[in-house]
Chains A and B, each alone.
Chain A
Amino acid sequence: MEWNFAPVLGGMDLLLWGLLNTLKITGLALAFGVPLGLGLALMRLSTLRPVSMVSAFIIEFFRTTPPLVQLFWFFFAFPILFSINMTPFTAAIVTFSIQSSAFFAEIFRSGIQSIDHGQWEGSKAIGMNRNQSLRRVILPQAVKRMIPAFMERSIELLKTTTLVSTIAYTDLMYQANDLAQRTFRPLEVYSVVALIYFVLIFGFSQLSIMVERRLAKSGEGTVG
């Protein structure tokens, strides 16, 4: 067989458009998922048992069910149940926001719990309430420790976004399928697309390793 990259290069604009959409989905899911994750983590740490249990259930449910199942549910079942329109785009954003928030919640929780108990007592002693302690004393310290786990999870999210191709959202994976079918060059198309993903994800991984090293040097412990 002979490699022929001409058809792939001809479709490069399609692939780049798909890549842009991949990044868009990842970015938006992060933007919603992180605050949502913090909320879930705070609920989970609440002293009110029902609140903590509800949060624990949400977290465990979204961590133990496959993301593709969640995506299908939000795309095929959710719109009928609530009589609303769900585009592939909104289904993807909703699914990946909630799915990653469950993982972010656990990162926030272990980050907050890793802070020495004395920090809570110190802020209590100067008259801070729970909220103030959390915002002013605990979180600023915890966030620094969470950065490596946070970046790792973001990379996982980026990989997971390939699933949106199955509900026909035009991400990089979908464009690849499309191009491969039209050009009859699956080998070149999928190899190039794998390479694009590799460069992107490997780049982010190296970045996160660098950040982790710098944090380790500054003497900050990290949580996984």
Chain B
Amino acid sequence: MPNLAKERWVKMDHNWDFATIFQNWRVYWVGLQGTLLMFGVTVTFGMFGGLIIGILRYIKHPVAAWPARVFVEVFRNTPVLVQIIWFYYAFPVLTGIETSPFQAAALGISLNTMAFSAEIYRAGIQSIEKGQWEGGKAIGMNFAQTMRRVILPVALKRVLPALTNRGIEVFKMSTLASVVAYVETLLQAKLIADLNYNPIESYTAVALIFFVVLYPVVQGTYALERVLNRSDR
């Protein structure tokens, strides 16, 4: 009898069958391309846009600082899934501009990343000693020159680990695009699971894909942090 009980609770005899997964590698490959495209677009817009907003916030720009603050607070304090869905269903009603799944997801994730990275950049710039500004000023540099040549190079180096962490989050976030039916890795896995009735293998595969891609990156950031901690130049 005990065997039967075990049988009922833990189906130890599940036949792991990854053959269908390998047969369908093209489906995953299409998905991974979608993931990479989404990541590439959102991380680029997010990180560059964030730098501009972060600087506007830092210099307390008389006109732009307040809207920048509102932008940052709104996008940091609402779930990114809400943002994506808002851009997919609500934004077209408001503006009359239709958004494709790609556009809606890319907008949501980019703006979210801009808000988060803006605060990272701002903290980095703020962490630079006042003396560095004075050093630049004393040799006749103006604000923009000091920022570009003296402050940013050091500040960016300091926030590199935080930015990489954000990048990893953005990569994972790309799966949310599946909710508005953008073709990426998770959506493709769902397709395979529904067609072949093999959710165990198909979802395990997608988890492994993300792990394999991101694990080396994460290890890399640990190494990076150690290196940066050691050198203070």
B-contacting residues of A (Cβ < 8 Å)? 1, 60-61, 63-70, 72-73, 76-77, 80-84, 158-160, 162-163, 165-166, 173, 176-177, 180, 186-187, 189-191, 193-194, 197-198, 201-202, 205
Known contacts A1-B94, A66-B186, A84-B9; A72/B82 CB under 8 A: no
- A73 in contact with B203 given A64-B211, A83-B8 (CB within 8 Å): yes
Could you tell me which B residues sit within 8 Å of A by CB distance? 8-11, 14, 73-74, 76-83, 85-86, 89-90, 93-94, 96, 168, 172-176, 178-179, 186, 189-190, 193, 199-200, 203-204, 206-207, 210-211, 214-215, 218
A173 to B211, CA, bound (A): 28
A46 to B79 Cα, complex, angstroms: 36
B186→A162 contact, CB < 8 A: no
Q: How far is the CA of A70 from the CA of B189 in the complex (A)?
A: 13
Q: Which residue of A has the minimal Cβ distance to B8?
A: A83
List residues of chain A with CB within 8 A of the CB of B193: 76
Do B203 and A186 touch across chains, with their CB atoms under 8 A apart?
A: no
Please, which residues of chain B bring their CB within 8 A of the CB of A69? 175, 186, 189, 203, 206-207, 210
Quick check: A162 and B81 within 8 Å, CB to CB? Answer: yes
A68 B9 Cβ-Cβ under 8 A: no
Query: A residues within 8 A CB of B207?
Result: 61, 65, 69-70, 73
Q: Which residue of B lies closest to A184 (CB)?
A: B93
What are the 4 tightest A-B residue pairs by CB atom distance, in nearest-first order? A186-B89, A76-B199, A64-B214, A159-B79
Closest residue to B216 on the A side, CB-wise? A64
CB neighbours of B203 from chain A (8 A) = 69, 72-73, 76-77
8 more contacts with CB within 8 A, not counting A81-B14, A177-B85, A186-B90, are A65-B172, A67-B172, A69-B189, A73-B203, A82-B11, A159-B79, A165-B81, A186-B93
Main secondary structure of the interface of B (DSSP, over half): helix
A-B pairs with beta carbons under 8 A, tally: 123
Instruction: Give 22 A-B contacts (CB < 8 Å), ordered by A residue.
Output: A64-B211, A65-B207, A66-B174, A69-B203, A73-B207, A76-B193, A76-B203, A77-B199, A81-B14, A82-B9, A83-B8, A84-B9, A159-B80, A162-B81, A162-B82, A173-B85, A190-B90, A194-B78, A194-B82, A194-B86, A201-B77, A205-B77
Decide yes or no: A191 and B190 within 8 Å by CB, A68-B178, A159-B80 being known contacts. Answer: no
- Whether B79 pairs with A82 at a CB distance below 8 angstroms is no
Once bound together, how far apart are the Cα atoms of A205 and B76, in whole Å? 10
